[in-house]
Structure 1
Amino acid sequence: MMMNHELLVQLYMDKPFIVPSMLMTSYKKIGMTETQFMVLMHIQQFSQEGNFFPTPNELQARMSIDEKECTNQLKELLKKGFLSIEERQEEDGRLSEAFSVKPLYEKMVLFLNNSLLDSGKKTKQIEEGQLFRRFEEEFSRPLSPMEMEMISMWLDDDGHTPQVIEAALRESVVSSKLNFRYIDRILFDWKNNGIKTLQQAREHGERIRHHQLKKTNQYTGDDKSEKKTRHPHYNWLKN
């Protein structure tokens, strides 16, 4: 059966009603009930239709709650700060009241930002916990309070990432110099040279090796000046 031509045209002309997926999955977390969520969605739909201040009676006509409950839900939404009432200027210049769901989306953005911050903090805590365990695995013993404090200083005071500190640990292992003084020398050298990433550390190591090789080729025999070179011959970050 074919649909009425005018009805079909109207369906195509209607503005699509889009609900952000993040709002659908998070409205409970920001403190809304299903009923309050649907009231807000109906208010937004009315707004698209040109009715910017629908009455409780108009809202309940599209919902399964009565007018009294609809009024109560509107009061709760205003009280919780998910909905506001603003002045709106009509085309003829008259001022009228209108619902605004902008506070809802402002709360949503704030929630998402806080979630990202919390996620970042959790990720950092996990990475730092793994770093301490990595040290204990390499040293084959629990770390002393002083050693744990030194790792914390590398993280907090010197600003090294867990990945860079672990790379320095790995370097001390392959160089057969597994001790905190040696690791601290590596990190001190990296910090002085602005090394903040593994890639920068690799490139820095290549420059050092190239410089040392060049000096070695310039001299013959056991030259003391070569032994006094500032940088040890690191095996920089080879996996």
Structure 2
Amino acid sequence: MERDVMIKLLEQGHVSIPAVFLDYYDALGIDEKDMMLLLHIHRFIQQGHTFPTPEQLAQKMTLTVNTCQEAIGRLLKRGVLRLEQKEDDNGLMYEKYSLGPFYDKVFAYLEAEQAPEKNKSDLDAGELYRLFENEFGRPLSPMEGETLAMWVDQDHYTYPLMRAALREAVISGKLNLRYIDRILFEWQKNGIKTPEEADAFSEKFRQKQRGKGTAEQPAQPYPNYNWLEAD
């Protein structure tokens, strides 16, 4: 019986995992659970099953079907997994997953490593996305993801400044993108370009609030500034 089981296991074959999966997933802002899901998708693709369902993936993991579905959505939204439509020899359309976008991002990361002067936007975007999700305690919605992209592409906010604005919102206890957008707008309007300048600018407002305290109602030691009411 043990011999038969071993033969069946060997007949299942081997899976070749590119080292780039293990070396660069963290740099692209992918956590371990999502990376394991990518590895399972990679395994299915290698075995000729290019469109595994959330149910099939959940059977290979400790995740629920819904959690697998959400993770697939995250990976598609982050641009490390792509869903493609193909046509077979009989003219019938079918869907398949592609890991090409993951390799593209790894290539961009390696390019940035070899040329430090180039823009490391893919790396910074992954880190920023993960940081916002960690602080919000949930995945970002597609609209929130678009807002982050607009801050970079249209408003030209730098990644260090966006991280500083997120920290300011956490301090103020107003964790939403509308509030963070106003912080960034105020900083830009006042010529703030670095996190250090932003810290000094914010501290001036806090000092004003400290001065508003009375003997009956002393100011808080670290008062919040409402950026939505800025002049």
Q: Which has the higher contact order (CA 8 A, sep 6+)?
A: 2
* Normalised TM-score (structure 2): 0.46
* Normalised TM-score (structure 1): 0.44
